[in-house]
Amino acid sequence: MPKVSNAICRWSSLITASLVFIVGCSEVRDSNEAVQANTDQMLANDGKSLTKVTLQLNWFPEAEHGGYYAALVHGFFAAEGLDVEIIPGGPGSPVIQKLVANQTTFVVGNADQVLTGRNQEAEVTALFAPIQMSPRCIMVHASSGIERLDELQNMTVALSAGRAFALYMQKKLSLKGVRVVGYPGSMAVFLNDKNFAQQGYVFSEPFLAEQQGGDPHVLMVSELGFNPYASLLITRSDTVDAQPQLVAAMVRASKQGWQTYLESPEKTNAAIHQQNEEMGLEILDYGATVLKDLCLPDAMPAAQLGDMTLQRWTQLRDQLAEIELVDKNLDVSKAFTTATGHE
């Protein structure tokens, strides 16, 4: 298994996922506490009384969480009076379930998770959307000549069964002659079979494939119009109602963290690497570079970083209803809020 195995086994089997999650959390806890201790010491010198909160990640620490770690290591959480513990996730990390069970104050997740959760009566609310364009991609070989998703045919495509993006692809694309198989959790088959394509995140798997001698060409799933916000900051709806100042402080610090990470990720990447040694500095730097266009697409002003619109949420609801993951009448107006003081 390569040194950066975390990035290439996102969707392993549930049993393996549980084991990796437990091991991963134990391995990063000491370094997480070290980063936290540095921040706490800085705050203690200011004599502030800090409010303790937890932020549960949906995966091991990576570039996709960079802005939240930047808020920690640069002291932005501290400046807002927050003592934030960032808890690593892992494959299949049940962030929405943990949030509903009151096991954490905030979580990081994607917009489709918010809507499918609310469809199952999980009262959760998205607060801030740093990654505006979905990083989900399909990797094909450059030598295949495939330039668009609708050109996928007469080949094998590895997708995670049951995932919203995979269901949407299978509904919208003809996939003539395509054999859909489960995601293998490694790069081995892709590297050895020119007629094989597989899912990935644009800031990690393509980099790994090139490192191992592959010739990946990336097709963005968002080209189909399926484009959920990613790395959202999410909390319980009752927290938004009962503690608006806490929520606003968390959003302000997170936004400042993301703005800083996109401009100057070096210090934060060093901290992420400290917590997740399988994420080398080279791939973290690559990820931070790729994230710029995903977080601020189409020359979006930095001041609008994290903004959300009802139109985007409504479109996603309609798409998820089309693949029967949510009710077509699900009220999306309660799935997110812009009243958090970050505009």
pLDDT of residue 28: 43
User: Which pLDDT score, from 0 to 100, does residue 7 have?
Assistant: 44
CA 212 to chain centre: 24
CB neighbourhood size of 328 (10 A): 10
Residue-wise pLDDT for 123-142, tens only, equals 999 999 999 999 999 999 99
The confidence score (pLDDT) of residue 195 equals: 97
Q: How far apart are CA 192 and CA 177, in angstroms?
A: 20
Task: Write the single-letter amino acid at 323.
Answer: I
Chain segment 266-310, per-residue pLDDT in tens? 999 999 999 999 999 999 999 999 999 999 999 899 999 999 999
Q: What angle do CA 179, 183, 184 make, to 5 degrees?
A: 110
Asked whether residue 113 carries a pLDDT value surpassing 80, the answer given is: yes
> Locate tokens 């070290």: which residue?
34
Strands 82-87 and 51-56: parallel
Average pLDDT, integer, range 227-240: 99
Question: Distance between CA atoms of 72 and 55, rounded to whole angstroms?
Answer: 11
pLDDT of residue 92: 83
Long-range contacts of 27-31 (CB under 8 A, 24+ apart): 28/60, 28/61, 28/88, 28/275, 28/276, 31/274, 31/275
If DSSP codes are grouped into helix, strand and coil, which group holds residue 4?
Answer: coil
Mean pLDDT of the chain: 89
**Residues near 225 by beta carbon (within 8 Å), at least 6 away in sequence:** 315, 319
Confidence check: pLDDT of 37 > 50 = no
What mean pLDDT is predicted for residues 9-17?
38
pLDDT at 339 over 90: no
- Please, which residues bridge with residue 235 across strands? 106, 125
* pLDDT at site 45: 42
H or E stretch including 118? helix 111-119
Asked if domains 5-133+228-334 and 136-224 share a fold, the reply is yes
17 or 195: which leads in pLDDT: 195
What CATH number does domain 5-133+228-334 carry, 3.40.190.10, 3.10.129.10, 3.40.50.150, 1.20.1440.230? 3.40.190.10
In this prediction, residues 143-166 reach a mean pLDDT of 96
Supply the pLDDT for residue 22.
37
| Sequential DSSP letters for 135-182 | -EEEEEEGGG---SGGG--SSEEEE-TT-HHHHHHHHH---TT-EEEE
Name the CATH superfamily housing domain 136-224.
Answer: Periplasmic binding protein-like II (3.40.190.10)
CA nearest 100: which of 90, 114, 112?
Answer: 114
* Secondary structure (DSSP) of 216-240: EEEEEGGGGT----BSEEEEEHHHH
Q: 3-class DSSP state for residue 113?
A: helix
Residue 184 CB neighbour total at 10 angstroms: 16
The residue extents of the domains of the chain are 5-133+228-334, 136-224
Beta-bridge mates of residue 198: 139, 158
Q: Residue 216 above 70 pLDDT?
A: yes
